[in-house]
Structure 1
């Protein structure tokens, strides 16, 4: 199957590249949201110092992974 070529002679990214990019964008957005919500919730329950950093980091990774997965699925559907 021939490679699709854009209007200026550039090759279009493959489906895997699009899914990968969707995951990375979703992961970045999820990490930002996790930083905000995780900081607020950890401070609200009284965490300080190392415990606070661990709690916020865990929330950031969970939010990033979840949102990144859904964005990757969405980009996969669009291929």
Structure 2
């Protein structure tokens, strides 16, 4: 018996926009993790402490997460 694509329960493949969103979220997660590592090292090396340290790490995490997420979203869009 052949298997249908949608299935009997209304399940379907994710659309192109859903794939792009998922690529952005995966890239953002990986980028933020890398930003936390590199940002912590970079801020500690400069000599930041306290609130300045947390702010610097957060800024680095957001920048790297956004950048890597954007590139992953573009890559997923190309694959659609």
TM-score if structure 2 supplies the norm length? 0.89
Cross-structure match for 1:21 = 22
In the TM superposition, structure 1's runs of 4+ consecutive aligned residues that sit over 4 Å from their partners are none
Q: 1:64, CA displacement in angstroms?
A: 0.1
Is there any run of 5+ residues in structure 1 with no aligned partner, and where?
A: none
Give the count of matched residue pairs.
74
> How far apart in 2 are the matches of 1:48 and 1:30?
23
Is there any run of 5+ residues in structure 2 with no aligned partner, and where?
A: none
> How far apart in 1 are the matches of 2:40 and 2:32?
12
CA deviation digits over 1:4-27, x for unaligned, max 9? 925xx1300000000000000000
> How far apart in 2 are the matches of 1:62 and 1:34?
8
3-state DSSP class of the match of 1:62? Answer: helix
Whether 1:51 aligns to 2:52 is: yes
Cross-structure match for 1:40 = 41
Structure having the higher Rg: 2
